[in-house]
Copies of this chain bind each other. A is one copy, B any other.
Amino acid sequence: MPSIDVCYSPELLHLYDLKGKAVVAVDILRATSTMVTAFAHGATDIFPVMKLEECQAYAAKGCLIAAERDGVKAEGFDLGNSPFAYMNGNVQGRTIAITTTNGTRAIHLSMEADEIIVGSFLNLQAVANHLQELQLDVLIVCAGWKGKFNLEDTLYAGALVERLQQAFSFENDATLASLYLYQTAKQDLVTFLRQSSHVRRLENLEIHKDIEFCLQHDKFGVLPVWQQDRLVDIGVREVKG
């Protein structure tokens, strides 16, 4: 039986051996939720990049460029980090380069893994199904907030563990704690998270609508995975295939 583990911060990733594992990178508010939404609305590829200048350079290649810093859209970019900005037909058939405070870092630090999957509540079951098929040991890598633990990524980890608990072993405390917290919170995630520091920080930016959107379970069947140098969606193909 493969195992499942949770890493609460990219700052702890050096303690884990990623070789032979499937990593699920998660930044619920909002990088990975937004990437999933972009694929669901027809984006063809996503380049997650670390730096603003690097991201800006993709504009010359015909990409849409997206950037968030400290919760808001960075100056001079086409798109920010709100999923609603990707829903009006503007990303259909387009390649997007995106840089965010926490989420892109979690992806880039996971390159040693056999597979990197982008997780969010929006595509929860698609990720769970894929992991059941893969039969690799799983590490859920929470983006956190500037290296620190955050609740929303932990709750997602707990939700994914709940879906996988019959088919995966988990013998580590981070996985147990994530599951307990999710089971405490799941009846009303929005209210539960309203106390969290990051949610309050984001609510100050008046993006309560974004938060409610990102906490919806199983809205999309997309499955973004890392291939060579970018993220592509293999979800649709799987459903068709």
Contact = CB atoms under 8 A, between A and B. Distances in A.
A145 B150 CA distance: 20
Contacts of A181: 177, 180-181
A149 B51 CA distance: 29
Chain A's interface: helix, strand, loop or mixed, by majority?
A: helix
Contacts of A60: none
B147 A173 contact: no
A173 B177 CA distance: 13
B180 A200 contact: no
A173 B200 CA distance: 11
Contact of A147 (B15, B145, B200): B15
Given A11-B15, A12-B12, A151 B171 contact: no
Interface residues of A, number: 27
Query: Which of A149, A174, A195 has the largest number of chain B CB atoms within 10 A?
Result: A149
B150 A173 contact: yes
Contacts of A147: 12, 15
A44 to B, nearest CB: 35
A9 interface: yes
B180 A198 contact: no
Interface string A171-212: 111101100110010000000000111101000000000000
A149 B177 contact: yes
16 contacts: A8-B149, A11-B12, A11-B15, A12-B147, A12-B149, A15-B146, A15-B147, A148-B173, A150-B173, A151-B176, A151-B177, A171-B200, A173-B197, A176-B195, A176-B197, A177-B177
